[in-house]
Amino acid sequence: MTIRQTGERRWKVADAKAKLSEVLHEAARRPQVIASRGREVAVVVSMEQYAELLRSRGRQAPRARLAEFLRFAEQLRGRGGATLILPRRRARRSPFSDEVG
């Protein structure tokens, strides 16, 4: 599953390596996604964003995690939304039928 946030910048590994200082500078403003052979493998974010992520992932009660998720979803919608890409599902045998699917 991949979540693409509007406004992220994408880099190939070689480009990110060659322009590391630019990647780091841009990460202060918005996440920088790094891809290897067409597959997203890393994200460079500011220390502020990283600290926020750690705080939000701390030990929270389920209700608090849901509230945090809803706040994040509202912020994401306010920034123009995101595209959720789900991998294709494979048909599998049902334990209740001889048919596939």
The architecture of the domain spanning 2-62+71-78 is: 3-Layer(aba) Sandwich (3.40)
Condensed to tens digits (0 to 9), the pLDDT of residues 7-54 reads 789 999 999 999 999 999 999 999 999 999 999 999 999 999 998 888
Q: How many helices (H) and strands (E) would you count in the chain?
A: 4, 5
Q: In Å, how far are 10, 34, 60, 78 from 67, measured between CA atoms?
A: 30, 30, 10, 17
Residue type, 27: A
Q: Where is average pLDDT lowest: 11-15, 78-82, 97-101?
A: 97-101
In eight-state DSSP terms, residue 8 is: -
Domain spans of the chain, in order of start? 2-62+71-78
Model's pTM, two decimal places? 0.52
